[in-house]
Amino acid sequence: MARVSLPITTDRLTLRSFRPGDEDDEDDVFAYRSVPSVVRYIPGDPKTREQVEDLVAERATAGRIDATMPNLTLAVELDGRVIGDVLLLLAGPDGADGKQAEIGWVFAPDVGGQGYATEAARAITEVAFREVGVHRVWAELEPENTASARVCERLGMRREAVFVKGSWFKERWTDIAIYGLLADEWSQEPGH
Contact assessment for residue 30 and residue 140, using Cβ atoms and an 8 Å cutoff: no
Domain residue limits, the chain: 2-134
What's this model's pTM, rounded to 2 decimal places? 0.93
| Grouped pLDDT means (10 residues each) for the chain, 192 residues | 90 96 96 96 94 92 79 96 96 67 97 98 97 95 96 98 94 96 90 74
Question: Domain 2-134: which topology?
Answer: Aminopeptidase (3.40.630)
Pick from 140, 144, 151, 135: which is nearest to 183 by CA? 135
Q: Are 163 and 175 in contact (CB under 8 A)?
A: yes
